[in-house]
Homo-oligomer: A and B are copies of this chain.
Amino acid sequence: MPRDPAPIEITLPPWVAEVVDWKRRYPSDEERMRLAIDLSRENVLRETGGPFGAAIFVEQTGELVGVGMNSVQRLTNATLHAEMVAFMVAQHRLGTFTLGAEGLPDHTLVTSCDPCAMCLGAVLWSGVRRVLCGASRDDATRLGFDEGPVFPESYRYLEDRGITILRGVVRVEARTVLELYRERGGSIYNG
Contact = CB atoms under 8 A, between A and B. Distances in A.
Contacts of A98: 78, 189-190
A10 B75 CA distance: 13
Interface stretch (A31-39, A129-137, A145-153, A172-180): A145-153
Interface residues of A, number: 59
A88 B77 contact: yes
B92 A76 contact: yes
17 contacts: A3-B22, A5-B66, A5-B92, A7-B11, A9-B9, A73-B97, A76-B92, A76-B97, A77-B97, A78-B91, A78-B98, A79-B87, A79-B88, A124-B190, A125-B190, A127-B190, A149-B154
